[in-house]
Amino acid sequence: MGIPSTPSNALQLRYFIVWTAVTIGGLLTIHGDLLAQNNATRNSTRKIRLTPSALTKQAGSAVNWEPDFDTAAQKSLETNKPIFWYVPTLRGTFMDRKSEIDRYMLSGPFSWPNIIEVINEHYIPVRSAPTKKQQADYQLVPYEFIEPGFLILKPDGKCETKVDRITTMHPQWFRGLITRSLAQAQPLPTQPKLLATAWKQFKIGDYETAAQTSTLGDNEDTLPPSARCELGLLRGMANFRLGRQEEAKAIWLAVSEKYPNEPLAWKAAAEAQGAGPFYRGFEVHTELPKPAMLAGIKSKGSAAPANTFTEKDLWNHGTNFLLGMQDESGGFTDSDYDFGGTDSLPNVHVAITALAGMAMLEALQRPDCPERLKQRLPAAIKRAIKFTTDDSRINRVDRDEILWAYAFRLRFLSRCLELPQTNLGVPLEELRLSQQKTVELLEGVQSRGGGWYHEYNNPFVTATALVALAEANKLGAKIDSAKIDKGLQSLLSDRFANGAFPYSSGRRKRNNEGTEKDFAASAGRMPLCELGLFVWDKSNDTALNTAVKKSLDFHDNLDIALKYDDHTSTLAYGGFFFWYDMRARSETIRNLTDRNLRKRCAEIQKSLVMNLPELDGCFVDSHELGRVYGTAMALLSLANCNSEDPAQP
């Protein structure tokens, strides 16, 4: 599988124009449906982004950033110190949420005192986007260098270190990256005993004790303000990991107000607003295996080097992370995917909570699941069921992402019903009633044309709905056969003669034979679309086999978009499609009836997943969807790859 060439800005612009036209066309197509379903309120695509507080804006300002690159270069020559060049973004990219990602860095690594000290003492720091010439000189090519990242340049301008794709932030790892090239080792400064003890407790996952220990700092006048501030920040972090997110935010806000001159207080302010990397799940503090400390040197960005983790490690790290990101309501609300508008976020959160619940269910079934996780998982899954089945969590006015809320909630409930031996403390009859209700809700958002809708009409969403309904049907739910027939007709009409599927429904010539480029473009969605037909006996083994094989053949077209928060090419791939397509492909592989082919494809797919964990053993594909989503989808992909029986997950 060769790496495809990077699309030019002209091609990217052309794609953007086409995508916009398709989106508008899709909106016009379903406009009548929207008015029919909700005459009082029209669907909104407005994006309401956070306004940072005065203290949040100060995050990262303790680094002595030079005003521009030229000034930094001159000072580097004068002092013989290397340049630490933080690149928050590149010029001319379509990367979404540039300011939010920049804030993760400023209130993440650039807020920790021991990192600030190293940068200020040993480097000439500058924070700037590269010029056109610099982009060429340092190979800072859009879609190849994916922001955020940094470079370390010698005084003569030669690049010594270049790291991008930072989607997991770990202070010890980051500090190791920037001290590795220094002539002298830079040991971590000694911490006050109370602070060191609290951190040790936190890192091993003893959050309750860490919260109690960090509270002692309030009355310890012998501690410097910086240490008391850090203990307060840590107390909020421990409460967050215990699911007490609102309490954590209150603690962080109090810390920021009490120590307004401390860099970590500015970080606390960002976390209190839900805008910091810890709150969003991108900053972690677990003990890292030694190979992971080389992430960024022996691997791309914050991805772990190959063979850092076993499959058991990934399940344990991923499950532990999920448990630590669930809030008291039972939901997972770290994602800020708002391409469908801010009003769509409640539905995104329900969908991701359902996926996380499914991943936790799979973790609970594993024979090697540690006892400490087995004891916590049933209650966490029960809270997720409560959250996803609470209709007040759904925004029924939003039409952009409501499909995901219904479809993944339905799949979560179906999986719970498939495992009646799992004692979740929820009566089976209650689960069946919720399942049937969700079936009807999912059927209710079908468009007049027979397909289902996500921001625009498209076949992969229709397939998502059909697969979810087929699973419920097997478990005895009552399905409207007329709606299924219309959905299948829509999906069949989308399929090219060669088996490929278009990006958007109804935007092609009739009887289109399909080309090799159509295969390349649909490598991600093709298995799922074919599976949507297969589970309703409208496809066959040959077509399903072809879909999986072509998907694997053209995987690099999907892979190039990983960690990019928008579309990357005229093929319509984007980071936010990566784990969606990977999980769907793994499920399609599970349904291959040829045992040998299924085994070979599962081995390839599993190898792809095993090579993608972050430095802490979790997963991510885009900043706005978040690490909970990525981790849940990756674990579900692994679960599918391990299934020997096509009838079982």
pLDDT of residue 36: 34
Whole-Å CA distances, 237 to 112, 224, 268, 282, 595: 15, 20, 10, 13, 47
Mean pLDDT of the 253-281 span: 98
CB-CB contact of 23 with 455 (8 Å): yes
Mean pLDDT of the 41-59 span: 89
Nearest Cα to Cα of residue 467 among 546, 391, 529: 529
**pLDDT digits over 74-96, tens only?**
999 999 999 999 999 998 888 88
> What is the arrangement of strands in the sheet containing 124-127, beginning at the earlier edge strand?
124-127, 83-87, 149-153, 159-163
> How far is it, in rounded angstroms, from Cα 129 to Cα 381?
44
Whether the pLDDT of residue 646 is over 70: the answer is no
Whether the pLDDT of residue 183 is over 90: the answer is no
Nearest Cα to Cα of residue 629 among 575, 592, 548: 575
CB-CB contact of 623 with 351 (8 Å): no
> How far is it, in rounded angstroms, from Cα 602 to Cα 487?
29
- Least confident segment among 246-260, 348-362, 516-530, 610-624: 516-530
Q: Domain 54-179 belongs to what architecture?
A: 3-Layer(aba) Sandwich (3.40)
pLDDT of residue 643: 67
Query: Which string of b and e fits 302-339 if b means at least 16 CB within 10 Å?
Result: bbbbeebbeeeebbbbbbbbbbbbbbebbbbbbbbbbb
CB-CB contact of 346 with 387 (8 Å): no
Whether the pLDDT of residue 29 is over 60: the answer is no
Cβ neighbours for 482, distance < 8 A, ≥ 6 positions apart: none
**pLDDT digits over 295-353, tens only?**
999 999 999 999 999 999 999 999 999 999 999 999 999 999 998 999 999 999 999 99
For tokens 């939010």, name the residue: 100
**Cα 616–619–625 angle (5° rounding)?**
130
pLDDT category of residue 9 using cuts at 50, 70 and 90: very low
Residue 381: left if φ>0, alpha if ψ -120 to 50, beta else—which one?
Answer: alpha
**Higher per-residue confidence, 505 vs 376:** 376
**How far from chain centre, in Å, is Cα 152?**
28
Nearest Cα to Cα of residue 143 among 5, 349, 344: 5
Query: Which string of b and e fits 515-539 if b means at least 16 CB within 10 Å?
Result: eeebbbbbbbbbbbbbbbbbbbebb
Whole-Å CA distances, 163 to 93, 147, 316, 535: 18, 9, 28, 44
> How far is it, in rounded angstroms, from Cα 569 to Cα 56?
35
Whether the pLDDT of residue 510 is over 80: the answer is no
Whether the pLDDT of residue 514 is over 90: the answer is no
> How far is it, in rounded angstroms, from Cα 268 to Cα 262?
10
pLDDT of residue 457: 87
pLDDT category of residue 143 using cuts at 50, 70 and 90: confident
Mean pLDDT of the 474-485 span: 98
Nearest Cα to Cα of residue 117 among 80, 73, 171: 171
CB-CB contact of 487 with 459 (8 Å): no
DSSP string, 468-486: HHHHHHHTT----HHHHHH
For tokens 């690159």, name the residue: 69
**pLDDT digits over 195-230, tens only?**
999 999 999 999 999 999 999 987 778 899 999 999
**pLDDT digits over 413-434, tens only?**
999 999 866 778 899 999 999 9
pLDDT category of residue 4 using cuts at 50, 70 and 90: very low
Q: Give the number of C-alpha atoms closer than 13 A to the C-alpha of residue 231, restricted to the C-beta side.
A: 25
Strand partners, 152: 84, 161
- The per-residue pLDDT of the chain, averaged, comes to 90
CB-CB contact of 240 with 278 (8 Å): yes
Whether the pLDDT of residue 30 is over 70: the answer is no
pLDDT category of residue 10 using cuts at 50, 70 and 90: very low
Q: Is 14 helix (H, G, I), strand (E, B) or coil?
A: helix
Beta strands 83-87 and 124-127 are parallel
Mean pLDDT of the 551-563 span: 91
Q: Summarize the chain as % helix, strand, coil (round to 5).
A: 55, 5, 40
Q: Is 153 helix (H, G, I), strand (E, B) or coil?
A: strand
CB-CB contact of 168 with 153 (8 Å): no
CATH 1.25.40 fits 194-272, yes or no: yes
340's tokens: 């469908």
Fold of the 309-641 domain = Glycosyltransferase (1.50.10)
